[in-house]
Amino acid sequence: MNKVDRDRSRRRLAVDRLMYFLCFLCVLIAVVPLLSVLYYVAASSLAIINFSFLTGLPRPPDEYGGIGNAMQGTFIVVATASLIGLPIGVFAGIYLAEYGNNRIGGSIRFVADILAGVPSIVVGLFAYSFIVLAMKRFSALAGGVALAAIMIPIVARTTEESVKLVPNTLREAALALGITKWRTALYVAVSTARSGILTGIMLSIARISGETAPLLFTAFGNRYWAVGIDQPVETLPVRIFNYAIAPYDRWHAEALGAAFLLIILMLAINLLVRFAVRGRYSPTR
């Protein structure tokens, strides 16, 4: 190897090392906001979190109030959304996986992917016009419908992907035993895929628990405990938003406290799912 070759290969190695470094730098930069958010919310909220904060009702800005009704409301709205959205989403996903290998299935799949990307505020507009106007009031139901509309395409696709992963030889084994196609689909394919399906469900619940925009004018808000699904309710994300943009310092602190709680909830679900899924789906790259 002469001098030119040696210089060239030294330069190539230098470029290689530089690119490695740059890519690693990108990772560091990407991770900074996450760590900053987590640290900031955790640090600022510890002072304010106590039993009365978690279980109390909101107070005027000259006192410290609580997020009890917000947590209750979030639970009600998410539960409503799940009751509506999960059956539709899961069965749609089963259909796509077992019977959807044709043009119709392809178009449903495509629409589901588009629907999953529709801005959540637009979904809120839809729920406003579809439910709030019809009922002539804001309600937890309207919020639940909005969140269900967000949930359905996500759950459908994750369910489909999980069921599709079940190897075909299992279906064949069941069919060869003389088991009917629908029982094979339900009791063999879906049953084998159940942990993947559950994962998808949990991730979608985590996702909608944090949604704010669609609730702004559907579930709206409420200074008191929720009394019914046909009344407006307070939810954690909406409370965080309203308090964060208000001019009162105390409310800022409460917003951070509520945010801490919400983050704990979301991260817990996501980490749980990542760990549960690790063995089965860990990519080799």
Partner 1 sequence: MGFGDLVFESVAAGFAFCIIALLILIAYELIAKSALSIDKFGWIFLISTTWDPVHEIFGALPFIFGTVVSSILALIIAVPLSLGVAIFLSEMAPSSVRFPISSLVELLAAVPSVIYGLWGIFVMAPILRIHVQPTLAKTLGFLPLFQGPMHGVGMLAGGVILAVMILPTISSISREVLRAVPDVQREAALALGATRWEAVRISVLSYARSGIIGAVILGLGRALGETMAVTMVIGNRPEISASLFALAHTMAAVIANEFAEATYDLYLSALTEIGFLLLLVTCFVLTIGRLLVWRIVRVPKGVTL
Partner 2 sequence: MADKIGIENLNAWFRTNHVLTEINMSIPERNVTAVIGPSGCGKSTLIRCLNRMHELVPEARVSGRVLIDGVDIYGRDVDPVQVRRRVGMVFQKPNPFPTMSIYDNVAAGLKLNGERKRSKIDEVVKKSLDMAALWDEVKDDLGKSGASLSGGQQQRLCIARALAVEPEVILMDEPCSALDPIATAKIESLIRTLRENYTIITVTHNMQQAARVSDFTGFLYLGKLIEFGETRQIFSNPRNELTERYLSGRFG
Of residues 55-84, which lie at the interface with partner 1 (CB under 8 A)? none
Site for partner 1 in 151-210 (CB under 8 A): 152-153, 156-158, 161-162, 180-183, 185-186, 196, 199-200, 203, 206-207, 209-210
Which residues contact residue 193 at a Cβ distance below 8 angstroms, ignoring those fewer than 6 apart?
A: 159, 162, 163, 165, 166
State the nearest-atom distance from the C-beta of 105 to partner 1, in Å. 8
Determine if 27 is a binding residue for partner 1 (CB under 8 A). yes
Could you give phi then psi for residue 46, rounded to 5 degrees? -60, -35
Residue 168 C-beta: closest distance to partner 1, Å: 17
Give the one residue of 6, 7, 59, 119 binding partner 1; rule: CB under 8 A. Answer: 119
- Residue 37 binding partner per list partner 1, partner 2, none, with a CB distance cut-off of 5 to 8 Å that depends on partner kind: partner 1
- As measured in angstroms, the least distance from the Cβ of 71 to partner 2 is 35
198, 246, 266, 276: residue in contact with partner 1 (rule CB under 8 A):
266
Of 19 and 173, the one with the shorter C-beta distance to partner 2 is: 173
> Rounded to whole angstroms, how far apart are CA atoms 169 and 135?
51
- Pick from 7, 8, 10, 19: which binds partner 1 (CB under 8 A)? 19
Question: Considering the complex, what minimum distance in angstroms separates the CB of residue 259 from partner 1?
Answer: 5
Q: Is 226 in the site for partner 1 (CB under 8 A)?
A: no
**Terminal alpha carbon distance of the chain:** 35
CA dihedral 105, 111, 113, 114 (to 10 degrees): 170
Q: Which of 48-56, 62-70, 73-81, 214-222 is the region at the interface with partner 1 (rule: CB under 8 A)?
A: 214-222
Contact, 215 vs 238, CB < 8 A? yes
Q: Which of 10, 25, 55, 194 is the binder for partner 1 (CB under 8 A)?
A: 25
Alpha helices for 128-209 (secondary structure H): 133-135, 140-165, 168-176, 181-183, 191-192, 194-209
- 3-state SS, one letter per residue, for 52-107: HHHHCCCCCCCCCCCCHHHHHHHHHHHHHHHHHHHHHHHHHHHHHHHHCCCHHHHH
